[in-house]
């Protein structure tokens, strides 16, 4: 019966997704969600194993399932004269195989942009591409041995540290070669994927579509070059045009951005000074709408709020500043700086 078949496919899809995110809990999660016995769940798992999309390790209560890697491909390209930005995609396209047109479009765009980034901005000697495909998603990584991207941005803007470079990268419209590039490449690519990570030097930055916060991790594992990882569900529904439209006010122009204020806060420091506010404000006057996302920020100081919501706002009335993710204390501080009623702030 179609209904039974559709339910079975839904259960197996859920199992694959659960194995990807929670491999040790997939069986229990499926049983609870669909109100089915462990025996029924095991029958679906057995079918997925027989289809070759799952692997099984351990026994009885210690049994663990993992997605089987269906495609595992990699190649290293010497960064030499004559290499074009579409060289990698021409070889990767057959590896990712038959996927929905919108998913292929995202992969074509994302890989080409990141490969071109390594090709044009690298002082290194090679770029490597790796593809891993499972039944549920595909991951592509691009590595190079160039000067790390965060360091390059730091040097271009004369920033005090590489950590400040990530805040600039998250705003978009930044490039170290403005005569040839718009600075949109990494910004839009990062927002097309379910998960987008960059490692450069001691810093690791991750953007996930399912989570509000971008994360910045610092460790002592240094290395040359830049590594970019992109991950996308094989049945993802958006397409590149949807992403461009999300950050457009007029006719697909990149004139709207989101600034994650949390990225301006390092360690346990509080956001209290005008200099910290000016790091947030750097270059945002090139946008028509700027969404200041305070998610994960506990408090801000009077000078920080005053510099953004009174001084900058008065100097740039053409830039619309919107606020999201602010708690009550931050909202009150912004209201005080703006000299407006709370109702006006939230409208």
> If DSSP states are collapsed to H, E and C, what string results for 194-216?
CEEEEEECCEEEEEECCCCCCEE
Give the contacts of 120 (CB within 8 A, at least 6 positions apart): 85, 177, 180, 181
**What pLDDT score does 175 carry?**
60
CATH of the domain at 41: 1.10.10.10
Residue-level pLDDT at 233: 94
CB 208 within 8 A of CB 230: no
103 and 234 assigned to the same domain: yes
| Cβ burial, residue 26 (10 Å; 0-12/13-18/19+) | buried
Residue 160 burial (CB < 10 Å; 0-12/13-18/19+)? exposed
Distance CA 192, CA 44 (A): 32
Same domain flag for 79 and 135: yes
Examine the domain organization and report whether 324 and 219 are in the same domain. Answer: no
Task: Kindly state whether residues 102 and 120 are assigned to the same domain.
Answer: yes
Helix 162-171 and helix 274-281, axial crossing angle in degrees, nearest 10: 50
Query: Residues 225, 260: contact at Cβ < 8 Å?
Result: no
Whether 78 and 208 share a structural domain: yes
Which CATH number belongs to the domain containing residue 212 in this structure? 3.30.565.10
Q: Do 57 and 100 belong to one domain? A: no
84 plus 45 within the same structural domain: no
Boundary (domain end) residue, out of 52, 67, 82:
67
CA–CA separation, 203 vs 75, rounded Å?
Answer: 25
Q: What tokens does 214 get?
A: 């971008």
The last residue of a domain, from among 24, 39, 67: 67
Residues 43 and 83 in one domain: no
pLDDT in tens, the chain (347 residues): 446 678 888 999 999 988 888 887 888 898 999 999 989 998 999 999 999 999 888 876 677 888 999 999 999 999 877 788 889 999 999 999 889 999 999 999 999 988 988 887 656 788 999 999 999 999 999 998 876 777 777 777 777 777 777 787 778 766 655 555 555 777 788 888 999 998 887 777 888 877 756 666 666 555 677 889 999 999 998 888 888 888 787 766 788 888 889 888 876 778 999 999 998 998 899 899 999 999 889 999 999 999 999 999 999 999 999 999 999 999 999 999 998 544 444 54
**pLDDT at residue number 82:** 78
Question: Of 67, 95, 113, which residue is a domain's last?
Answer: 67
User: What domain range includes position 46?
Assistant: 2-67
Cβ-based neighbours of 223, under 8 Å, separated by 6 or more:
199, 201
Tell me the residue length of the chain. 347
Same domain (yes/no): 63, 78 = no
Within this chain, do residues 335 and 235 fall inside the same structural domain, yes or no?
no
In the chain, DSSP finds a helix count (H) and a strand count (E) of: 14, 12
Both 86 and 230 in a single domain? yes
Rounded-to-integer distance, Cα 265 and Cα 279, Å:
10
Pairwise CA distance, residues 143 & 130, whole Å: 9
* CATH code of the domain in which 306 resides: 3.30.750.24
For residues 255 and 287, the answer to whether their CB atoms sit within 8 Å is yes
Domain count, the chain: 3
Of 304, 292, 296, 294, the C-alpha closest to 337 is 304
Euclidean distance between CA atoms 299 and 287, whole angstroms: 26
Neighbouring C-beta atoms of residue 279, cutoff 10 Å: 16
Instruction: Tell me if 142 sits within 8 A of 127, measured CB to CB.
Output: yes
Are 200 and 317 members of one domain?
no
pLDDT of residue 99: 93
């Amino acid at each position: 019966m179609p209904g039974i078949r559709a339910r079975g496919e839904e259960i197996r899809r859920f199992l694959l997704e659960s194995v990807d995110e929670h491999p040790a809990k997939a069986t229990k999660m499926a049983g609870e969600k669909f109100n089915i016995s462990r025996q029924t769940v095991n029958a679906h798992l057995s079918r997925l194993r027989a289809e070759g999309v799952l692997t099984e390790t351990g026994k009885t209560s210690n049994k663990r399932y993992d997605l089987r890697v269906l495609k595992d491909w990699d190649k290293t390209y010497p960064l030499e004269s004559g290499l074009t930005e579409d060289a990698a995609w021409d070889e990767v396209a057959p590896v990712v195989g038959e996927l929905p047109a919108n998913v292929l479009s995202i992969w074509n765009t994302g890989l080409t942009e990141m490969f071109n980034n390594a090709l044009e901005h690298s002082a290194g000697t090679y770029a490597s591409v790796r593809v891993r495909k499972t039944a549920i998603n595909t991951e592509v990584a691009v590595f190079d041995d160039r000067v790390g991207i965060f360091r390059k941005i730091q040097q271009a803007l004369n920033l005090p540290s590489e950590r400040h470079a990530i805040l600039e990268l998250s705003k978009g419209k930044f490039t170290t070669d403005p005569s040839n590039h718009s600075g949109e490449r990494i910004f839009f690519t990062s927002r097309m994927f379910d998960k987008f990570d960059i490692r450069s030097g001691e810093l690791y930055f991750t953007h996930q579509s399912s989570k509000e916060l971008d994360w910045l991790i610092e460790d002592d594992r240094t290395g040359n070059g830049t590594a970019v990882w992109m991950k996308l569900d094989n049945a993802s529904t958006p397409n590149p045009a949807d992403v461009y439209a999300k950050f457009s006010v007029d006719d697909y122009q990149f004139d709207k951005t989101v600034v994650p204020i949390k990225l301006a806060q390092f360690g346990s420091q509080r956001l209290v000074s005008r200099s910290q506010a000016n790091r947030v404000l750097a270059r945002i006057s090139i946008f028509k709408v700027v969404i200041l996302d305070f998610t994960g920020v506990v408090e801000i100081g009077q000078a920080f709020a005053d510099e953004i919501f009174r001084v900058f706002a008065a100097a740039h009335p053409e830039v619309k500043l919107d606020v999201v993710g602010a708690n009550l204390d931050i909202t009150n501080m912004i209201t005080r700086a703006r000299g407006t009623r709370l109702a006006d702030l939230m409208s």
